[in-house]
């Protein structure tokens, strides 16, 4: 990938690194499906204002209704719901490790199942190294594999699989401006989640959550969804599904970094070693170093 795409990937990883923290705080006081609805509907409203300001509302054409609904289901409704359900009983660290398997599923879906991308050895090796690096960084959270409910872990893996299918499906939106594609999928997921949230919010009131929780909902919707998807769809159109899915490898690393920078949490040898393995995996997956070595004269 060119440097521009790597910068977008790193910024996106930093934004989504905070999303697990926002969600963990919010889901303690808001039912998971209701939280998903708030996340997508607030983000959708924000992006509709952006489209109106840019005079692009007309780009949300009726012929795109079904693709937007499908994208909203695969990229928002299903994975957000599964992750929030999982995080009701497992920690953010283990959830982010399981979510970091997204590039593995994306390689399988994009390269093996739908033949959308060429399966290359260095890309496969890079993804495996990246996942290994994430597992080493957050090895203390891996204790949850034995102690936490299996259904919650499978929920997070199901979210990763859904993200992989969404990244492959999103190819059909390459001709659309990123803000139109992002708004369209959020419109679709808002329509899907509205009845689900209504029927699962029994006994819950909007007056129940604290101001801190609502602040986390706002951050989850505006920063980690609306703004993040503007970057994500630009990255998808320029770098492809597998490369865009690499952001899930950077999310746990950015969460650890912010914990060290803001909260003063210590980074031990395992965290630094895992981060090194992750960086090596990204270099291998990028592939440019191998091209340069092959291009050198014997």
- 178 neighbors 116 (Cβ within 8 angstroms): no
The per-residue pLDDT for range 11-41, each reduced to its tens digit, is: 998 888 778 778 888 888 999 999 999 999 9
Please state the domain count of the chain: 1
Reported pTM: 0.78
pLDDT at 192 exceeding the cut of 90? yes
* C-alpha–C-alpha distance, residues 122 and 14, integer Å: 25
Burial (Cβ within 10 Å: 0-12, 13-18, ≥19) of residue 245? buried
Residues 6 or more apart in contact with residue 78 via CB below 8 angstroms: 158, 159, 162
Which range of residues forms the domain containing residue 112? 3-295
| Mean per-residue pLDDT, 211-215 | 93
Find the helix packing angle between 78-86 and 150-169, rounded to 10°: 160
Q: What is the pLDDT of residues 259-292, one digit of tens each?
A: 666 656 565 676 677 767 777 776 776 666 666 6
């Amino acid at each position: 990938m060119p440097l521009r795409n790597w910068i977008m990937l790193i910024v996106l990883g930093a934004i989504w690194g905070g999303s697990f923290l926002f969600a963990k705080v919010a889901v303690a006081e808001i039912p998971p499906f209701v939280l998903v609805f708030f996340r997508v509907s607030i983000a959708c409203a924000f992006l509709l204002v952006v489209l109106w300001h840019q005079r692009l509302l007309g780009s949300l054409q009726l012929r795109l209704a079904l693709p937007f609904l499908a994208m909203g289901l695969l990229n928002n409704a299903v994975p957000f719901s599964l992750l929030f359900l999982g995080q009701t009983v497992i920690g953010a660290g283990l959830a982010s490790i399981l979510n970091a398997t997204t590039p593995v599923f994306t390689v399988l879906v994009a390269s093996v199942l739908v033949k959308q991308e060429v399966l290359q050895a260095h890309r496969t090796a890079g993804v495996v190294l990246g996942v290994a690096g994430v597992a080493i960084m957050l090895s203390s959270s891996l204790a949850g594999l034995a102690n936490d409910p299996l259904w919650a872990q499978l929920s997070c893996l199901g979210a990763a699989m859904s993200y992989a299918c969404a990244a492959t499906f999103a190819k059909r939106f390459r001709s659309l401006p990123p803000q139109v594609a992002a708004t369209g999928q959020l419109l679709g997921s808002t329509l899907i989640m509205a009845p689900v949230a209504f029927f699962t919010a029994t006994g819950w009131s909007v007056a129940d959550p604290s101001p801190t929780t609502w602040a986390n909902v706002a951050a989850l919707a505006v920063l980690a969804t609306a703004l993040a998807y503007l970057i994500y769809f630009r990255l998808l159109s320029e770098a492809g599904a597998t490369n865009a899915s690499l952001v899930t490898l950077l999310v746990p690393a950015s969460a650890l970094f912010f914990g060290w920078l803001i909260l003063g949490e210590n980074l031990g040898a395992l965290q630094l070693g895992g981060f090194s393995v992750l960086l090596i995996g990204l270099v291998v997956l990028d592939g440019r170093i191998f091209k340069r070595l092959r291009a050198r004269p014997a």
